[in-house]
Amino acid sequence: MATETEAVSETEREAGVEWRVWLEQAGAFTRRNLQEVRNSGIMLLWVLTFPAIMYLLQATQGVETSAVADASVSIGTGVLGSMFVCLYLFGNQLATDLEDRRYVAYRSMPISPSAELTGRMAAGLVLAAGAFTATLVAGLATGASYGLRGPESVPIALAAGALTCLFWMVVAIPLVVVAGNERVASMTTTLVAVGAFVLTGLNGTVPAQSPIDGPVLNYLPNTLPTRLLVYHLVPAENWTGLGVAPPAMPTEPAFLALLAAYAVLATVAGTMLVNRMLYDQGWWP
Protein backbone atom coordinates (compact mmCIF):
# COMPACT_ATOMS: atom_id res chain seq x y z
CA MET A 1 0.00 0.00 0.00
CA ALA A 2 2.80 2.36 0.94
CA THR A 3 4.57 1.57 -2.33
CA GLU A 4 1.46 2.46 -4.33
CA THR A 5 1.08 5.74 -2.42
CA GLU A 6 4.72 6.61 -3.03
CA ALA A 7 4.31 5.84 -6.75
CA VAL A 8 1.28 8.14 -6.96
CA SER A 9 3.15 10.91 -5.14
CA GLU A 10 6.13 10.54 -7.46
CA THR A 11 3.84 10.75 -10.51
CA GLU A 12 2.23 13.90 -9.13
CA ARG A 13 5.63 15.44 -8.48
CA GLU A 14 6.75 14.66 -12.02
CA ALA A 15 3.56 16.15 -13.42
CA GLY A 16 4.11 19.27 -11.32
CA VAL A 17 7.68 19.60 -12.58
CA GLU A 18 6.58 19.15 -16.20
CA TRP A 19 3.88 21.80 -15.75
CA ARG A 20 6.36 24.28 -14.25
CA VAL A 21 8.81 23.67 -17.10
CA TRP A 22 6.00 24.19 -19.62
CA LEU A 23 5.03 27.50 -18.00
CA GLU A 24 8.66 28.64 -17.92
CA GLN A 25 9.08 27.86 -21.61
CA ALA A 26 5.83 29.62 -22.55
CA GLY A 27 6.87 32.65 -20.50
CA ALA A 28 10.33 32.68 -22.10
CA PHE A 29 8.88 32.70 -25.63
CA THR A 30 6.42 35.45 -24.65
CA ARG A 31 9.21 37.65 -23.30
CA ARG A 32 11.45 36.93 -26.28
CA ASN A 33 8.82 37.90 -28.87
CA LEU A 34 7.87 41.06 -26.99
CA GLN A 35 11.55 41.95 -26.60
CA GLU A 36 12.13 41.57 -30.34
CA VAL A 37 9.35 44.02 -31.13
CA ARG A 38 10.45 46.45 -28.41
CA ASN A 39 13.99 46.44 -29.79
CA SER A 40 12.62 47.61 -33.14
CA GLY A 41 11.01 50.93 -32.28
CA ILE A 42 9.83 51.59 -35.82
CA MET A 43 8.05 48.23 -36.07
CA LEU A 44 6.45 48.67 -32.64
CA LEU A 45 5.22 52.14 -33.55
CA TRP A 46 3.92 50.90 -36.91
CA VAL A 47 1.91 47.93 -35.64
CA LEU A 48 0.39 49.91 -32.77
CA THR A 49 -0.53 53.05 -34.72
CA PHE A 50 -1.34 51.64 -38.19
CA PRO A 51 -5.06 51.01 -37.48
CA ALA A 52 -5.44 54.30 -35.61
CA ILE A 53 -3.94 56.20 -38.55
CA MET A 54 -6.29 54.37 -40.95
CA TYR A 55 -9.28 55.32 -38.81
CA LEU A 56 -8.19 58.97 -38.55
CA LEU A 57 -7.82 59.15 -42.33
CA GLN A 58 -11.42 57.94 -42.67
CA ALA A 59 -12.72 60.21 -39.91
CA THR A 60 -11.14 63.38 -41.30
CA GLN A 61 -12.53 63.15 -44.83
CA GLY A 62 -15.07 65.88 -44.11
CA VAL A 63 -18.15 63.61 -44.17
CA GLU A 64 -20.49 64.35 -41.27
CA THR A 65 -21.20 61.23 -39.18
CA SER A 66 -22.65 60.47 -35.77
CA ALA A 67 -20.67 59.59 -32.65
CA VAL A 68 -21.99 56.02 -32.63
CA ALA A 69 -21.22 55.56 -36.34
CA ASP A 70 -17.65 56.67 -35.69
CA ALA A 71 -17.46 54.23 -32.79
CA SER A 72 -18.57 51.26 -34.90
CA VAL A 73 -16.11 52.10 -37.69
CA SER A 74 -13.28 52.53 -35.18
CA ILE A 75 -14.02 49.07 -33.75
CA GLY A 76 -13.97 47.51 -37.21
CA THR A 77 -10.67 49.26 -37.95
CA GLY A 78 -9.31 48.28 -34.53
CA VAL A 79 -10.04 44.64 -35.28
CA LEU A 80 -8.10 45.10 -38.53
CA GLY A 81 -5.22 46.31 -36.37
CA SER A 82 -5.44 43.16 -34.27
CA MET A 83 -5.54 41.02 -37.42
CA PHE A 84 -2.52 42.91 -38.78
CA VAL A 85 -0.55 42.15 -35.62
CA CYS A 86 -1.59 38.50 -35.66
CA LEU A 87 -0.93 37.95 -39.36
CA TYR A 88 1.91 40.30 -40.26
CA LEU A 89 3.87 40.60 -36.99
CA PHE A 90 3.30 37.05 -35.74
CA GLY A 91 4.05 35.75 -39.22
CA ASN A 92 7.12 37.97 -39.63
CA GLN A 93 8.68 36.69 -36.41
CA LEU A 94 7.90 33.09 -37.35
CA ALA A 95 9.34 33.56 -40.86
CA THR A 96 12.52 35.04 -39.40
CA ASP A 97 12.98 32.03 -37.11
CA LEU A 98 12.48 29.69 -40.06
CA GLU A 99 14.96 31.57 -42.24
CA ASP A 100 17.52 31.62 -39.42
CA ARG A 101 17.02 27.85 -39.03
CA ARG A 102 16.21 28.20 -35.35
CA TYR A 103 13.79 25.30 -35.54
CA VAL A 104 16.69 22.99 -36.36
CA ALA A 105 18.02 23.85 -32.91
CA TYR A 106 14.59 23.78 -31.26
CA ARG A 107 13.98 20.21 -32.46
CA SER A 108 17.11 19.05 -30.68
CA MET A 109 16.07 20.67 -27.39
CA PRO A 110 13.47 19.54 -24.86
CA ILE A 111 11.10 22.31 -25.95
CA SER A 112 7.35 21.81 -25.85
CA PRO A 113 5.80 22.91 -29.18
CA SER A 114 2.60 23.87 -27.38
CA ALA A 115 4.56 26.03 -24.91
CA GLU A 116 6.26 27.82 -27.78
CA LEU A 117 2.95 28.40 -29.58
CA THR A 118 1.34 29.63 -26.35
CA GLY A 119 4.20 32.05 -25.75
CA ARG A 120 4.05 33.43 -29.28
CA MET A 121 0.27 33.81 -29.04
CA ALA A 122 0.46 35.50 -25.64
CA ALA A 123 2.85 38.09 -27.07
CA GLY A 124 0.57 38.53 -30.07
CA LEU A 125 -2.45 39.06 -27.81
CA VAL A 126 -0.66 41.80 -25.86
CA LEU A 127 0.36 43.67 -29.00
CA ALA A 128 -3.03 43.16 -30.69
CA ALA A 129 -4.76 44.57 -27.61
CA GLY A 130 -2.46 47.58 -27.81
CA ALA A 131 -3.31 48.18 -31.48
CA PHE A 132 -7.05 47.84 -30.81
CA THR A 133 -6.90 50.17 -27.79
CA ALA A 134 -4.95 52.78 -29.76
CA THR A 135 -7.71 52.82 -32.37
CA LEU A 136 -10.43 53.32 -29.75
CA VAL A 137 -8.40 56.18 -28.28
CA ALA A 138 -8.28 57.72 -31.77
CA GLY A 139 -12.05 57.26 -31.91
CA LEU A 140 -12.50 59.11 -28.63
CA ALA A 141 -10.31 61.91 -29.96
CA THR A 142 -12.70 62.37 -32.91
CA GLY A 143 -15.85 62.26 -30.76
CA ALA A 144 -16.81 58.59 -31.04
CA SER A 145 -19.21 57.39 -28.35
CA TYR A 146 -18.71 54.05 -26.55
CA GLY A 147 -20.64 52.37 -23.77
CA LEU A 148 -21.15 48.91 -22.30
CA ARG A 149 -24.54 47.33 -22.94
CA GLY A 150 -24.40 45.52 -19.61
CA PRO A 151 -22.08 43.65 -17.20
CA GLU A 152 -22.01 40.67 -19.57
CA SER A 153 -20.48 42.89 -22.25
CA VAL A 154 -17.05 42.77 -20.60
CA PRO A 155 -16.41 38.99 -20.87
CA ILE A 156 -18.08 38.81 -24.28
CA ALA A 157 -15.91 41.65 -25.63
CA LEU A 158 -12.75 40.05 -24.21
CA ALA A 159 -13.68 36.67 -25.71
CA ALA A 160 -14.45 38.24 -29.09
CA GLY A 161 -11.11 40.04 -29.16
CA ALA A 162 -9.13 36.99 -28.09
CA LEU A 163 -10.86 34.81 -30.70
CA THR A 164 -9.92 37.19 -33.50
CA CYS A 165 -6.29 37.04 -32.44
CA LEU A 166 -6.10 33.27 -31.94
CA PHE A 167 -7.76 32.50 -35.26
CA TRP A 168 -5.58 34.78 -37.39
CA MET A 169 -2.33 33.73 -35.71
CA VAL A 170 -3.16 30.14 -36.62
CA VAL A 171 -3.91 31.24 -40.20
CA ALA A 172 -0.47 32.85 -40.35
CA ILE A 173 1.38 29.56 -39.69
CA PRO A 174 0.68 27.74 -43.01
CA LEU A 175 0.94 31.03 -44.93
CA VAL A 176 4.46 31.58 -43.59
CA VAL A 177 5.57 27.98 -44.13
CA VAL A 178 4.26 27.91 -47.72
CA ALA A 179 5.71 31.37 -48.50
CA GLY A 180 9.19 30.13 -47.68
CA ASN A 181 10.79 33.51 -46.91
CA GLU A 182 10.15 36.57 -44.78
CA ARG A 183 9.48 39.03 -47.61
CA VAL A 184 6.83 36.91 -49.34
CA ALA A 185 5.29 35.99 -45.98
CA SER A 186 5.00 39.68 -45.00
CA MET A 187 3.30 40.58 -48.28
CA THR A 188 0.94 37.61 -48.11
CA THR A 189 -0.18 38.13 -44.50
CA THR A 190 -0.71 41.85 -45.07
CA LEU A 191 -2.85 41.18 -48.16
CA VAL A 192 -4.94 38.64 -46.24
CA ALA A 193 -5.60 41.09 -43.40
CA VAL A 194 -6.47 44.06 -45.61
CA GLY A 195 -8.38 41.89 -48.10
CA ALA A 196 -10.60 40.39 -45.41
CA PHE A 197 -11.22 43.87 -43.99
CA VAL A 198 -12.27 45.38 -47.32
CA LEU A 199 -14.25 42.42 -48.69
CA THR A 200 -16.38 42.17 -45.56
CA GLY A 201 -17.27 45.85 -45.34
CA LEU A 202 -14.71 47.03 -42.75
CA ASN A 203 -14.98 43.73 -40.87
CA GLY A 204 -18.77 43.77 -40.99
CA THR A 205 -19.29 47.30 -39.61
CA VAL A 206 -20.43 48.72 -42.97
CA PRO A 207 -22.24 45.82 -44.69
CA ALA A 208 -23.29 48.02 -47.62
CA GLN A 209 -19.63 48.16 -48.72
CA SER A 210 -19.29 44.37 -48.80
CA PRO A 211 -20.09 42.16 -51.82
CA ILE A 212 -21.14 39.49 -49.32
CA ASP A 213 -24.89 39.63 -48.83
CA GLY A 214 -27.20 38.29 -46.16
CA PRO A 215 -26.46 36.86 -42.71
CA VAL A 216 -23.09 35.41 -43.75
CA LEU A 217 -21.41 38.42 -42.12
CA ASN A 218 -22.59 37.12 -38.76
CA TYR A 219 -20.65 33.88 -39.19
CA LEU A 220 -17.22 34.76 -40.61
CA PRO A 221 -14.28 34.60 -38.18
CA ASN A 222 -13.43 38.29 -38.59
CA THR A 223 -16.94 39.76 -38.82
CA LEU A 224 -18.68 37.78 -36.06
CA PRO A 225 -16.29 38.99 -33.31
CA THR A 226 -16.34 42.52 -34.72
CA ARG A 227 -20.12 42.74 -34.82
CA LEU A 228 -20.30 41.33 -31.29
CA LEU A 229 -17.86 44.02 -30.16
CA VAL A 230 -19.93 46.71 -31.87
CA TYR A 231 -23.14 45.46 -30.26
CA HIS A 232 -21.63 45.39 -26.77
CA LEU A 233 -19.46 48.53 -26.95
CA VAL A 234 -21.57 50.98 -28.98
CA PRO A 235 -24.65 52.57 -27.32
CA ALA A 236 -27.00 52.35 -30.29
CA GLU A 237 -30.39 50.73 -30.89
CA ASN A 238 -31.28 51.56 -34.50
CA TRP A 239 -28.63 49.43 -36.20
CA THR A 240 -30.28 49.79 -39.61
CA GLY A 241 -30.17 53.56 -39.39
CA LEU A 242 -26.55 53.33 -38.27
CA GLY A 243 -25.69 51.22 -41.33
CA VAL A 244 -24.52 48.16 -39.37
CA ALA A 245 -27.66 46.16 -40.24
CA PRO A 246 -28.93 44.22 -42.09
CA PRO A 247 -28.08 41.53 -41.23
CA ALA A 248 -29.44 41.65 -37.69
CA MET A 249 -26.86 41.89 -34.94
CA PRO A 250 -25.58 38.51 -33.60
CA THR A 251 -27.23 38.59 -30.18
CA GLU A 252 -28.41 34.98 -29.84
CA PRO A 253 -26.54 32.53 -27.54
CA ALA A 254 -25.81 30.37 -30.59
CA PHE A 255 -23.37 33.02 -31.82
CA LEU A 256 -21.45 32.83 -28.56
CA ALA A 257 -21.31 29.05 -29.00
CA LEU A 258 -19.93 29.56 -32.51
CA LEU A 259 -17.36 31.94 -31.05
CA ALA A 260 -16.26 29.24 -28.61
CA ALA A 261 -16.13 26.67 -31.43
CA TYR A 262 -13.83 28.94 -33.44
CA ALA A 263 -11.56 29.28 -30.40
CA VAL A 264 -11.35 25.51 -29.92
CA LEU A 265 -10.76 24.95 -33.64
CA ALA A 266 -7.97 27.55 -33.68
CA THR A 267 -6.28 26.03 -30.63
CA VAL A 268 -6.39 22.48 -32.00
CA ALA A 269 -5.34 23.49 -35.51
CA GLY A 270 -2.50 25.64 -34.21
CA THR A 271 -1.15 22.81 -32.04
CA MET A 272 -1.30 20.35 -34.94
CA LEU A 273 0.37 22.72 -37.40
CA VAL A 274 3.24 23.60 -35.07
CA ASN A 275 3.88 19.96 -34.19
CA ARG A 276 3.83 18.77 -37.78
CA MET A 277 5.10 21.67 -39.87
CA LEU A 278 7.64 23.25 -37.52
CA TYR A 279 8.82 20.46 -35.22
CA ASP A 280 8.45 17.63 -37.75
CA GLN A 281 6.60 15.49 -35.22
CA GLY A 282 3.21 13.83 -35.35
CA TRP A 283 0.04 15.82 -35.78
CA TRP A 284 -0.63 15.72 -32.04
CA PRO A 285 1.72 15.85 -29.02
Would you state the pLDDT for residue 10? 61
pLDDT of residue 13 exceeding 90: no
Would you state the pLDDT for residue 129? 95
Q: Give the C-alpha separation, 268 to 179, whole Å.
A: 22
- Note the pLDDT tens digit of each residue in 149-159: 999 999 999 99
Q: Tell me how far CA of residue 157 lies from CA of 51, 63, 106, 270, in angstroms.
A: 19, 29, 36, 23
pLDDT of residue 12 exceeding 80: no
Residue closest to 87 by CA, chosen among 117, 49, 59, 47: 47
Q: Give the C-alpha separation, 100 to 205, whole Å.
A: 40
Would you state the pLDDT for residue 255? 93
Q: Give the C-alpha separation, 119 to 22, whole Å.
A: 10
Q: Tell me how far CA of residue 229 lies from CA of 4, 9, 73, 95, in angstroms.
A: 53, 47, 11, 31
Q: Is the model more confident about 65 or about 225? A: 225
Average pLDDT on 28-56 reads 89
Residue 192: pLDDT band (50, 70, 90) is very high
Cis, peptide link before residue 235, omega less than 30° from 0: no
pLDDT of residue 14 exceeding 80: no
